[in-house]
Amino acid sequence: MSELYPADRLARAGAALRAAGIDALLVTPGSDLRYLTGYNAKQLERLTCLVIPRDGDPVLLVPLLERPAALASPAADLGIEIIGWAETDDPFGQVAQRLAAAPGGRPDRVAVANRMWAEHALKLRDALPGSAVELADPVLRQLRMRKEPAEVAALRRAGQAIDRVHRRMADWLRPGRTEAEVGADIAEAILASGHVSVDFVIVGSGPNAASPHHEVSDRTINRGDMVVVDIGGTTPDGYCSDCTRTYVAGGQPDPEAVEYYAVLQRAQDAACDAVKPGVTPEAVDAAAREIITQGGYGEFFIHRTGHGIGLESHEDPYIVAGNIEPLEPGMAFSIEPGIYLPQRHGARIEDILVCTDDGGERLNQVRRDLVVLPG
């Protein structure tokens, strides 16, 4: 855990704060707090807030009844003060007092974590009259987007765990079962594979495979159905998995599905091959999109090619047209083109990649061809 959540992150966040010209950073429970301190705090109506002033020492303010949990987390090893506030205290006022007492005095600009509850953000704004409240992206985005070696190793372990689930798909996915029944078995296997939570299970069969974010339904899977299985969870490290494969539930699929799956596989390979430092996410998206368009299915590729991944399933960088920020070593993201024929069927192939010094490393190794399962 000390490698995943090193103590110098707070100093780096402080440096980024000063570089952005922001006077204070306020972080409540969520992935930003875990990234900075290792503390996976509960989201509660009671305020938990990491206060990082532009000048001065950070402090972690927690409800008194949550202080033992904070002290048992990696945050206790960071050398910061962990203060418990009592039920009748005003924690928002305490945050304001801490900032006013810092060397820089009352802050003009305060950045709040992007995922902060509106209830907390508005109360903090009211407690800091005269301070401009803005999002923390300029401070935290660049730090979180470039994964350190320990983070890449955690993502690699997560990829191996979700691969183990895909390799067992023949145990559950067969004609005559419903999507919901298959999904329940998959969810159980995700936990058994080494995850601590199931983030999502998509089992889209037949026409439901043409809906990219379909989850599960009571539809019975038929022989020859194309079935998109997109699954992911969170590991004990806090890092996420996400992998999609397309299966045939016994029998023979529609010949057109076989045709466009071959196009899709070429497109996914091309996008993965395009990954290297200096290449833009827009160019990676285009590498997949061009092949699908040339194959005659461009109008059926209806979403971006990928999203970043780490402590959240979806985070920066996004692999999409318009994103011209060059890739750098340590950036981790999905490559997941899809083809979806409305009311008929669809397919998607998804791997997590990490940009390396000279290319991209796939973190998922389970087979990528169109797998016809027994049935």
Could you tell me if residue 2 is inside a domain? no
DSSP annotation of 117? -
**113 in Cβ contact with 28 (< 8 Å):** yes
Tokens 């199931």 identify what position? 198
Tokens 């960071």 identify what position? 78
Q: Is the pLDDT of residue 165 over 90?
A: yes
- Claim to verify: residue 360 and residue 228 sit in the same structural domain: yes
As a whole number, mean pLDDT of residues 85-98 equals 97
Q: Per-residue DSSP letters for 152-171?
A: HHHHHHHHHHHHHHHTTGGG
- Claim to verify: residue 133 and residue 161 sit in the same structural domain: no
- Claim to verify: residue 153 and residue 258 sit in the same structural domain: yes
| Residue 19 pLDDT class (50, 70, 90 cuts) | very high
What's the angle, vertex CA 318, arms to CA 320 and CA 310, rounded to 5?
Answer: 155
Could you tell me if residue 61 is inside a domain? yes
> What pLDDT digit, counting tens, does each position of 327-349 carry?
999 999 999 999 999 999 999 99
- Claim to verify: residue 135 and residue 184 sit in the same structural domain: no
pTM attached to this predicted model: 0.95
- Claim to verify: residue 211 and residue 333 sit in the same structural domain: yes
Look at the chain and report how many structural domains it folds into: 2
- Claim to verify: residue 255 and residue 365 sit in the same structural domain: yes
- Claim to verify: residue 56 and residue 75 sit in the same structural domain: yes
- Claim to verify: residue 185 and residue 47 sit in the same structural domain: no
- Claim to verify: residue 51 and residue 162 sit in the same structural domain: no
Tokens 């202080």 identify what position? 67
Residues 6+ apart with CB under 8 A from 113: 26, 27, 28, 30, 32, 33, 136, 140
CA distances to 142, 174, 332 from 49, in Å:
21, 48, 28
Residue 99: which CATH number? 3.40.350.10
Could you tell me if residue 247 is inside a domain? yes
Pick the last residue of a domain from 90, 112, 143: 143
> What pLDDT digit, counting tens, does each position of 28-53 carry?
999 999 999 999 999 999 999 999 99
Domain that holds residue 74: 8-143
Could you tell me if residue 1 is inside a domain? no
What's the angle, vertex CA 143, arms to CA 113 and CA 2, rounded to 5?
Answer: 95
**205 in Cβ contact with 176 (< 8 Å):** no
DSSP annotation of 269? H
Pick the last residue of a domain from 86, 110, 143: 143
Cα distance between residue 137 and residue 143, in whole Å? 10
For residue 181, the number of C-alpha atoms closer than 13 Å in the C-beta half-sphere is 12
Residues 6+ apart with CB under 8 A from 90: none
Could you tell me if residue 176 is inside a domain? yes
Strand-pairing partners, residue 347, are: 339
Averaged pLDDT of the chain: 97
pLDDT value at position 32? 97
| Residue 203 pLDDT class (50, 70, 90 cuts) | very high
Cα distance between residue 205 and residue 224, in whole Å? 10
- Claim to verify: residue 176 and residue 103 sit in the same structural domain: no
pLDDT value at position 1? 61
Please state the three-class secondary structure of 218-259 as a single string: CCECCCCCEEEEEEEEECCCCCECCEEEEEEECCCCCHHHHH
pLDDT value at position 104? 85
Could you tell me if residue 286 is inside a domain? yes
> What pLDDT digit, counting tens, does each position of 220-272 carry?
999 999 999 999 999 999 999 999 999 999 989 999 999 999 999 999 999 99
Pick the last residue of a domain from 97, 117, 143: 143
Residue 340: which CATH number? 3.90.230.10
% of the chain residues with pLDDT over 90: 97
CA distances to 28, 55, 211 from 44, in Å:
10, 29, 34
Q: Is the pLDDT of residue 185 over 80?
A: yes
pLDDT value at position 2? 74
**236 in Cβ contact with 199 (< 8 Å):** no
- Claim to verify: residue 125 and residue 188 sit in the same structural domain: no
Could you tell me if residue 3 is inside a domain? no
pLDDT value at position 41? 97
- Claim to verify: residue 238 and residue 134 sit in the same structural domain: no
> What pLDDT digit, counting tens, does each position of 120-151 carry?
999 999 999 999 999 999 899 999 999 999 99
